[in-house]
Structure 1
Amino acid sequence: MHQLVEQFLKLKPSKFDGKGDLEAAILWVKELEKAFALLGCTEEEKVTLAVYQLQGVANDWWEATRGRVFPIGMVPNWTAFAETFNGKYFSEIAREQKMVEFLRLRQNQMTVDQYEAEFSRLSKFAPRMVEDPVDRARRFRDSLKPELCSQLILLNLRDYNELYERA
């Protein structure tokens, strides 16, 4: 375990203090999962390493929650930890707010590159709306500036990357 912790810390994973918005928590989990995959961690090791990265109110929350999630004798596993963490830091209300942000997203004064970056960032919160590649491309196109949108409609492009490049 000592060697695993050393390897993990060499990757310089971020700490999580429970402050910040929904996206900070999402990025923290994704970063950890990348490190876990690289290091070939077991389920129990994932929990141990993740808990080590908790600080402040997040650590206090886990200390108060740990016994309920992993009663004495139960081997910790990443799935249970992640579900509990998500329940705390990815509240349904916060996810809905991000989905509404995605629904309201319009290019307006952004460049196409800025709009695409925002589209990609927010689309994670509305996966069912963009899981079909044609729907993803259509949604991207329809929220562009009207003059761009009307030109792209004529081209009848169905591929998201091609649509983005043409825009």
Structure 2
Amino acid sequence: MASHLRDFTLMNPSNIYWSMVKEDPHDFIDEVYKILLYMGLFTSEKADFGTYQLGDVAKALYVEWRDYMPLRGGTVIWEIFKNIFIDRFFTKKMRESKVVEFITLRQGGMGVHEYSLKFTKQSKYAHSFVSDPRDEMSRFMRGLSDDLKEECHSAMLHENMNISRLMVHAKHVEDKWAKRKSRDAKRSRSLDSGS
């Protein structure tokens, strides 16, 4: 156990301070999970190590909850720990604001790559909107610029299309347009200098 703890701390997981408004409990718990998964720990060990990074309030809640679990005939596993942690520290107001952020997400001035990353990150807050692969692709398309929507709509209809492939396709179309625009600009410069 001590060697696992040393390995865990050497990986420098983030802390959560509870005082910063922009702290996202989901990001914290996801980062800790990635480290614990890499370490190859069992699910019950992950919950114990996860609390190591928590502040005093969360640790007290965990200890109280962990001590109660054996009375109910179970061990603390990561998924149970994560759900209790999120329910307790990710308030309803925070959850609702994240869902609204996701629903109103639009590409705007972002490139497809940046929009795709934001879409993927924010989709974890709105499971009901992306639970079905077709709904997820439709939601992604809804936020794209109008030109890209038109180009990507037919691609979405392919049977083997999924969200990852659709994102790659949209990026490919955007890159193709950028190359064409650059090529046209070079042509017009060469025509202007040749006149």
Q: CA RMSD in A?
A: 2.7
Equivalence for 1:115: 115
Range with greater deviation from structure 2 (24-33 or 59-68): 59-68
TM-superposed deviation, 1:23: 6.2
Q: 1:9 to 1:135 in 2, by over 3 A?
A: same
Q: 1:103 to 1:42 in 2, by over 3 A?
A: same
Q: 1:104 to 1:36 in 2, by over 3 A?
A: same
Equivalence for 2:59: 62
How far apart in 2 are the matches of 1:135 and 1:40? 34
The equivalences for 1:124-139 within 5 A come to 124-139=124-139
How far apart in 1 are the matches of 2:21 and 2:124? 15
The equivalences for 1:34-49 within 5 A come to 34-49=34-49
Q: Structure 2: which 5+ runs fail to align?
A: 175-195
Equivalence for 2:179: none
Equivalence for 1:142: 142
Equivalence for 1:52: 52
When normalised by structure 1's length, the TM-score is 0.78
When normalised by structure 2's length, the TM-score is 0.68
How far apart in 1 are the matches of 2:113 and 2:155? 18
Equivalence for 2:155: 157
Identity within the alignment, % = 25
**Which protein has the larger Cα radius of gyration, Structure 1 or Structure 2?**
2
| Counterpart AA for 1:2 | A
How far apart in 2 are the matches of 1:145 and 1:92? 31
TM-superposed deviation, 1:140: 1.8
Equivalence for 1:14: 14
Equivalence for 2:181: none
1:166 to 2:165 alignment: no
Q: 1:89 to 1:35 in 2, by over 3 A?
A: same
How far apart in 2 are the matches of 1:122 and 1:11? 26
Size of the alignment, in residue pairs?
A: 162
Equivalence for 1:77: 76
Higher relative contact order (CA 8 A, sep 6+): 1
